[in-house]
Amino acid sequence: MQPEGSDSSVAVIGAGITGLTAAYALQQRGKRVHLIEGRPRAGGVIESVREQGFLVESGPNALLLNDPALLAFFDELGLSGELLEAGATGKKRFIVRGGRVLSVPMSPGEFLRTPLFSARAKLRLAKEPFVPRADPAHEQSVAEFTRHRLGGEVLDYAVDPLVGGIYAGDPEKLSLRHAFPLLFRFEAEQGSLVRGGLHAALSRKKSGKPRFKSRSVSFRGGLAQLTDTLAGRLGDALTLDTSLEGVDLDGGFRLRVRHLGEESRELTVDRLVVATPGYAAARLVFQGTQTPLGELGAIQYPPVASVALGFRREDVQHALDGFGVLCPAREELSILGTLFTSSLFAGRAPAGHVLLTSYVGGSRRPELALLPKDSLERLVLADLERLLGVRGKPVFSRVSSVAEAIPQYNLGYERFLSAMTEAEQRHPGLFIGGHLRDGASVGDCIRAGQALALRAAA
């Protein structure tokens, strides 16, 4: 081991969007930052690949721009001119019922006419404001909450597919409080979703704040244009192919880091920001002391495969006039859903072609996500033929499997949040955040990175 001398600065571990944002914000505040990334590239699960004229995302495809601060951040990075909006088509979504691809109603009139829900389910929905509030002492699963407030059919044909699309998760296991905190608050504070929504709208109006129009966005070069830009701004502060192996705590943090194929070296910093997944944080060895971070190894990250297939336009019958289609578990399809990628953002497929990105696995059928690529392609193609009228072979295919994909905010998640708080209290100067604590969406992770930097710079 080669001691490298002391360095009064901040180390950020993990160059996903959380760690990149945190390191960039710390650098902007004049801090000396070391961003340490174990893999040969920055971005974490965000990866955009251009192949044969198609632009494919291995991880997230879009981020929800729901906050003016996010827009200001993209502007600061010189990226606002590169933003692509999903546009009107992106508002329309489809759900499968009885093998048919049905559009999700967007207005009261459409809701009354839609065959997605039976007349009984529609009546049941109308009773929501009168359903008694659940016992606040009992932690509800998303499924339990939906059955109680909205009925079983809404669970099966709206919430279950939505949960598959957002978390690749199981509504019976996900905690309402942690996976959908806004809905939890609406019920806890106003006793109903309808009253909660009205109250939120009224409060916003009273505050006089202009309404920010939320929309799904990406960048011309894919989401990796954001992570690549951040990595570029960080320059030498970012070290790739280098893993944090352990931490000695004797006045500051003495880190043992190992660059691929080299001996471990030491780096001493007085603040340490951990922006890794839970299973990686759990493996960090804090020398000479027990740390509650070991708990984080129990956070579930089921595998997800993303299967991007390109077709000639005339080989797909469906109009592809929307964001994509979600598949309820009851429909017993292999896919969780499919994004109409080339309808969402310009430049994702060559002229005369379309790109469809399907997701397989998650909590629903984890065993499928790790199948060989040709089996995955076959399964997806069979579903696309049934649902979207795909004919003929794809002209392009790219399959990427993430063995540990999206954290599941399951029942009992509070114990992981407590472990992170306890670790920070036990080791002053340690800060933990990102998808395992602050919300799993890309936007949540950007906000988490900024908040981590604020705390670590204080």
Ligand X SMILES: Cc1cc2nc3c(=O)[nH]c(=O)nc-3n(C[C@H](O)[C@H](O)[C@H](O)COP(=O)(O)OP(=O)(O)OC[C@H]3O[C@@H](n4cnc5c(N)ncnc54)[C@H](O)[C@@H]3O)c2cc1C
Q: At what angle are helices 224-234 and 17-28 packed, to 10 degrees? A: 40
Site for ligand X in 233-272 (CB under 6 A): 243-244
153 near ligand X, rule: CB under 6 A = no
**Which region among 38-46, 112-120, 139-147, 196-204 touches ligand X (by CB under 6 A)?**
38-46
Q: How far apart are CA 449 and CA 77, in angstroms?
A: 15
227 near ligand X, rule: CB under 6 A = no
| Contact pick of 37, 153, 156, 424 for ligand X (by CB under 6 A) | 37
- For 104, the 3-state DSSP assignment is coil
430 near ligand X, rule: CB under 6 A = no
Closer to ligand X by CB, 150 or 399: give it. 399
- Is the distance from CB of 70 to CB of 64 less than 8 angstroms? no
Neighbouring C-beta atoms of residue 375, cutoff 10 Å: 12
Site for ligand X in 15-34 (CB under 6 A): 15-19
| Contact pick of 34, 35, 38, 348 for ligand X (by CB under 6 A) | 38
Q: Under rule CB under 6 A, how many of the chain's residues touch ligand X?
A: 36
Closer to ligand X by CB, 18 or 192: give it. 18
90 near ligand X, rule: CB under 6 A = no
- Is the distance from CB of 342 to CB of 355 less than 8 angstroms? yes
161 near ligand X, rule: CB under 6 A = no
| Contact pick of 33, 405, 411, 451 for ligand X (by CB under 6 A) | 405
Beta strands in 166-239 (DSSP E): 215-219, 238-239
**Which region among 48-56, 125-133, 380-388, 433-441 touches ligand X (by CB under 6 A)?**
433-441
9 is written with which tokens?
């600065």
Burial 103-121 (b: 16+ CB within 10 A, else e): ebeeeeeeeeebebbeeeb
435 near ligand X, rule: CB under 6 A = yes
**Which region among 53-61, 96-104, 229-237, 313-321 touches ligand X (by CB under 6 A)?**
53-61
Closer to ligand X by CB, 35 or 150: give it. 35
63 near ligand X, rule: CB under 6 A = yes
| Contact pick of 62, 158, 217, 336 for ligand X (by CB under 6 A) | 62
Burial 157-176 (b: 16+ CB within 10 A, else e): bbbbbbbbbebbbbbbbbbb
- Tokens 């602050």 label which residue? 438
- For 327, the 3-state DSSP assignment is coil
342 near ligand X, rule: CB under 6 A = no
